[in-house]
Structure 1
Amino acid sequence: MFKRIPLLRALKADRWVRPFLRRYRKTLIFAISVGIVTFICGAGLMFSAGYLISKSATRPENILLVYVPIVLTRAFGIARPAFRYLERLVSHNWVLKMTSRLRQRLYDTLEHDAASFSSKYQLGDILGLLSDDIHHIQNLYLRTLFPMFVAWGLYALIVVTFGILSPLMGMWMLLLFGLMIFAIPLWSVLVNGARQEYEKQVKDQLYVNLTDNVLGIADWVLAGRSNAYLQLHDQNEQQYLATARAMHKFERLRDFLMQVLVLLLVLSLVIWGAARFGGQPGGPANWIAAFVLAVFPLIDAIAPLPAAAQETNVYTNSLVRLNDLPALAERLSTAPAIKAPYELKVQDLHYTYPQTSKEVLRGINLTIKPGEKLAILGRSGAGKSTLAALLRGDRIPSAGKVTLNGVPTDQFGDQIADYISVINQQPYLFNTTIANNIRLGNEEASDDDIWAVLRRVGLAKMVAALPHGLDTKVDEAGLRFSGGERHRLALARILLKDTPIILLDEPTVGLDPITEQAVINTIFEQLAGKTLIWITHHLQGIDQVDQVIFIEDGQLAMHGTPAELWQSNQRYRELKKADQGL
């Protein structure tokens, strides 16, 4: 049965929650102890108050007969909020300390294994990890594990205490409280937990279908199938509502059973109190009231357990995802040291996307010598951008290797930016000044350095004519500039950075032919002498490179200089003619 509980399976091989239970066990034990004492004080307050009220109603002959209950009532009345406050301080301090360590570990893992992580997880997983998972682990402690540990402690004390007073009553308490603390929460996990997981799947699918159908509503209408669209949506929604109704029905039944057990407990204490203390002076009423009232604060500790146990299904996904992260390895103290000249080499490179199991690149071999200009051609989806990510170390090859001066590029980490810079399809300009945007290439650059690179990319006159010059705001995403100007500003960053290798990932997409040729000319003129890797989907300006490769079906279909391919490769000639509109 316990093997069917997802949280227990996840905790069995857990590397994130269990270590912190051991590491901060003293603080955890103290917090649980204070939590138990808080409920004991609550029960003691009600016990003393119940005894005091019923004893006072019988007109005691002497005030000394109720003096002890009066003192205990005051003592428990003060102790209960005091211990409650202390319990909150200790437990939340423990949880916040633990979650801060978890966040640090998560960010260290993401930073150290960014290439591996981005190769294995989708963007939604990353966002989920950063926004929800640590919060879920925090709730796992505060809403489930901590109340559960406190309830277990109270359970042991209740059974032992009643066992001392009456072994038979102790056995009865063992059964009743056992049903409330163990049986019903376990029942909630097994029955409603499965429904909760199914409800989440149905809800996610409902959103997917609804989005897809709304975006395509015009086609539904034009096809004359509007009613079919509504029926499909109603069918999905009814499936979700049926699951939600089943969950709510179960919760009402579960809460009813909990109330029945509480009623049975109260009746049991009334009968037991009357039998146990019936022969004492003053009658059994004093003790019946005391024991019955003492139960209600204890119920407050037990009643939330079924709902808390059911929520563990929500936390399990976060726990599993965290444990699927690569184990945090020892961080390299320094990046690999290499010296110029810089040579990139690709050896028997294979890459497969884990999400689709599709092999994008198969057996690529390539050498890019210092100062060489390489053009990478291919259809959309052929693997050009994937190859670029592998060259820069942003992804890890499934097989083979990509090296810079003999060192795998994924080992450089952030320091790869000292050797390889990138101008992508849509360079981003932040909503700050022109100077700040260009200084992304070199934070220490002076205004004179910035003006120098602006002159090199042909933007100095335009910037000088602006009202605030370098201090002009570029607006969000650089919308005040044209596409060609944004690419030139991105080039200015690269010139300021002065890296030996530049990766151009289709930098002229969306530009008109005249602007495109002007940008290409500027790039090749200003980056003369540097290694250029130019990913492009057509052949305008291709004669300025030293070698051309064409990727098709994950392999090199062409490889040679532009002149060689024009002379020997019919397909290359056709591609170039088509690109020129001939």
Structure 2
Amino acid sequence: MDTKTLTKQIKTKNKAADRYMTVSVLSGIATTFLVVWLVNLFITEQVSIQKIALAGGGIVLFQVMKAVFYAIGTGRAHDAAYRSLAEIRLDMVSHLKKLPLSFFQKRKTGDLANIINHDVEQIEIYLAHAQPEIKITLLLPALTALSMLAIDWRLGLALVAPFPVMVLYQKFVYKLWDKTLKRYIQSTKEMSEDLIEYISTMPAIKAFATDEQKTGAVLSRMRAYISWVKKIMYTVSVPLSMVQMLLEIGLVLVVIVGAGLMISGQLSLIRFILALILANLFSSSLIRYMSFHHADIVLGRSVESIATITGESPPPDYPRDPSLGPGDIELRDVTFSYDGREEALKEVSLTFRENTVNAIVGSSGSGKSTIASLIMGFWPVEQGNVTIGGKNIAAINEGDLSGLVSIVQQDTFLFNTTIAENIRIGRAEASKAEIMEAAQKARIHEMIDNLPEGYDTMVGEGGVKLSGGEKQRIAIARIILKNAPIIILDEATAAIDPYNEHLIQEAMTNLSQNKTLIIIAHHLNTIVNADQIIVMDGGRMIAGGKHRELLDTCPLYQEMVQAQKQVDHWEIKQTQEVWA
């Protein structure tokens, strides 16, 4: 949804509230006329009990109507605001689910969280508080100006005489407000992003003793935010004072013109009093309008931010294909870069045969994980194509593709819920028995069973209560439960201790039975029996074959194997020294 459509949708939510607010304003003006009429009765000595009762009853009635309709209008405005808030957030979450992973990898988590929380919250503030006041403060001056013209057209002209100057000045002020508010909003977002990052990375900050440096950076961002708050206050308050001065000129002109008309006998005292009341109401209403108008600018900026999510086009939603099944995975002349940067893959062509064990090796940045991301459909292929079973993955429904491919990554994320629920993510309808069976195959059941609460143990945010190896095995249990025909292991044992690595290797043996397995390898000794090993370098595939073949034909693979042997020898030597 674009900015214009979203803004229109938001601003038309308060139609019911507007009607009640209009009645409230009219009731207030009617009260003013009745008060002036009552004063006139006393001045002209035409007062009577009946007239006082009539005026008093009318004043009470209109004041009650003003209060009641204002309360109902405010309630309707808040109801519309919170409904809109919920609708927009639900729409955003629904839209985010449709976007490719590439969208999230390009955006900061703090930025997206700030939009969903802070920017959407501005819509509630606008609908519930600003818009009703803006409508009232626009309607009231219009009605008072018309009433003034009805009293005497010369007084009406005197009242609005400074108005053209004020409009021109207002345009200048709005540009100034827009520029300053834009920077203020940006400062707010930056502070929010830094705070989220600061809190989420606290373990690393503490571990590397960089708390003073990081805290200083966050405090610096906060000071910048406070500086912009002060600038906003100055930018808003000074122009408002100037507008008030211009409007006071209109009030002064009404006094001068009215006094002249009274002296010449063209205006009665009671009309003059009413004119002064209306002139004061006119100027105070416009001042209130100006003070609320910056909410329009804030809303505009918030809508622009929201539109960066809702305006992002999701990939085509292809229909589900029940006949779609596994098969060979092929990359044909694939060239790919992240956001126009240096090419991560360059004319890569390769095939992973169905139900075979495959490995991809290469230095960091050689393109190993990029191949996995493209097979998973996380990024759209720029040049060439990726097929599964002969079908281009670009034309496969997202749900179908997810059902075909599973991935176990080095950095496993667990949700802050029970172990059972984290495993059940693999298949939502799985029974407790099926969850336990998957855990047994993943070599994690014994550990879970020894916990006081077993499978009902809460893992903490991100699985903080579990070790890296335990989280990996829970992730493998998920994949076993999902039972997808294609498994990608993205350096799953790269940072795991030997005990957990042994258990994970056993779990992966169970996982890979009758599957197409693609291992992004870190330890070469784990993939020597693979049916195919792909060697990547600088985004290109430079060799492919079995372990023995590559040792004879690929110098780079020979170097990698030799380096692995040196690492293994160093680890053994270090262990011997420890136990000596």
* TM-score computed with the length of structure 2 as normaliser: 0.80
Q: Amino acid of the residue matched to residue 29 of structure 2? A: A
Relative to structure 1, the CA distance from residue 463 to residue 105 in structure 2 (aligned partners, 3 Å threshold; closer, same or farther) is: closer
- 1:378 aligns to what? 362
With CA pairs under 8 Å and 6+ residues apart, which has the higher RCO, 1 or 2? Answer: 1
Relative to structure 1, the CA distance from residue 468 to residue 150 in structure 2 (aligned partners, 3 Å threshold; closer, same or farther) is: closer
Give the CA deviation at 1:529.
1.9
Relative to structure 1, the CA distance from residue 233 to residue 309 in structure 2 (aligned partners, 3 Å threshold; closer, same or farther) is: same
Per-residue Cα deviation, 1:432-487 (whole angstroms, up to 9, x for no partner): 44433333323443444344334333344444445555445555554554433332
Which of the numbers 507, 529, 535 marks the counterpart of 1:550?
535
Relative to structure 1, the CA distance from residue 353 to residue 306 in structure 2 (aligned partners, 3 Å threshold; closer, same or farther) is: farther
Per-residue Cα deviation, 1:222-249 (whole angstroms, up to 9, x for no partner): xxxx9xxx9x999999987776655444
Contact 1:377–1:538 (Cα < 8 Å) also in 2: no
Q: 1:108 aligned to 2:98? A: no
Contact 1:48–1:290 (Cα < 8 Å) also in 2: no
- 1:419 aligns to what? 404
Q: Quick one: distance in 1 between partners of 2:509 and 2:349?
A: 25
- 2:240 aligns to what? 255
Q: Quick one: distance in 2 between partners of 1:409 and 1:188?
A: 50
Which of the numbers 464, 473, 482 marks the counterpart of 1:497?
482
Which of the numbers 18, 21, 29 marks the counterpart of 2:8?
18
Give the CA deviation at 1:34.
3.5
Contact 2:443–2:504 (Cα < 8 Å) also in 1: no
Q: Amino acid of the residue matched to residue 361 of structure 1? A: L
- 2:157 aligns to what? 171
Q: Amino acid of the residue matched to residue 349 of structure 1? A: V
Q: Quick one: distance in 1 between partners of 2:327 and 2:397?
A: 14
Contact 2:344–2:366 (Cα < 8 Å) also in 1: yes
Which of the numbers 253, 273, 290 marks the counterpart of 2:274?
290
Contact 1:420–1:502 (Cα < 8 Å) also in 2: yes
3-state SS, counterpart of residue 533 of structure 2: strand
Relative to structure 1, the CA distance from residue 398 to residue 309 in structure 2 (aligned partners, 3 Å threshold; closer, same or farther) is: farther
**CA RMSD in angstroms, aligned pairs only:** 4.3
3-state SS, counterpart of residue 337 of structure 2: strand
Give the CA deviation at 1:401.
2.9
Per-residue Cα deviation, 1:349-398 (whole angstroms, up to 9, x for no partner): 333333x7443333322322211222222333444333322211222223
Per-residue Cα deviation, 1:133-165 (whole angstroms, up to 9, x for no partner): 332344444555554444444444334333344
Q: Quick one: distance in 2 between partners of 1:306 and 1:289?
A: 26
Give the CA deviation at 1:567.
1.0
Contact 1:274–1:285 (Cα < 8 Å) also in 2: no
Give the CA deviation at 1:67.
4.9
1:266-305 maps to which residues of 2 (within 5 A)?
266-274=251-259, 284-299=268-283, 301-305=285-289
Q: Quick one: distance in 1 between partners of 2:353 and 2:78?
A: 58
Q: Quick one: distance in 1 between partners of 2:387 and 2:44?
A: 92
Q: 1:399 aligned to 2:389? A: no
Relative to structure 1, the CA distance from residue 305 to residue 555 in structure 2 (aligned partners, 3 Å threshold; closer, same or farther) is: farther
Q: 1:566 aligned to 2:556? A: no
Q: Aligned pairs, how many?
A: 556
Contact 1:38–1:80 (Cα < 8 Å) also in 2: yes
Per-residue Cα deviation, 1:492-541 (whole angstroms, up to 9, x for no partner): 22222211111112211321245424422441354222111112334131
Per-residue Cα deviation, 1:64-98 (whole angstroms, up to 9, x for no partner): 55455334322321221122123223434444444
Contact 2:138–2:289 (Cα < 8 Å) also in 1: no
Q: Quick one: distance in 2 between partners of 1:318 and 1:433?
A: 37
* TM-score computed with the length of structure 1 as normaliser: 0.80
Relative to structure 1, the CA distance from residue 15 to residue 82 in structure 2 (aligned partners, 3 Å threshold; closer, same or farther) is: same
Structure 2 unaligned segments of length 5 or more: list them: 199-204, 570-580
Q: Quick one: distance in 1 between partners of 2:251 and 2:29?
A: 14
Q: Quick one: distance in 2 between partners of 1:203 and 1:477?
A: 27
Q: Amino acid of the residue matched to residue 386 of structure 1? A: T
Q: 1:336 aligned to 2:336? A: no
Query: 487-496 or 430-439, which moves further after superposition?
Result: 430-439
3-state SS, counterpart of residue 14 of structure 1: helix
3-state SS, counterpart of residue 64 of structure 2: helix
Q: Amino acid of the residue matched to residue 369 of structure 1? A: R
Give the CA deviation at 1:554.
2.5
Identical-residue share of aligned pairs (%): 22
Give the CA deviation at 1:126.
2.5
- 2:574 aligns to what? none
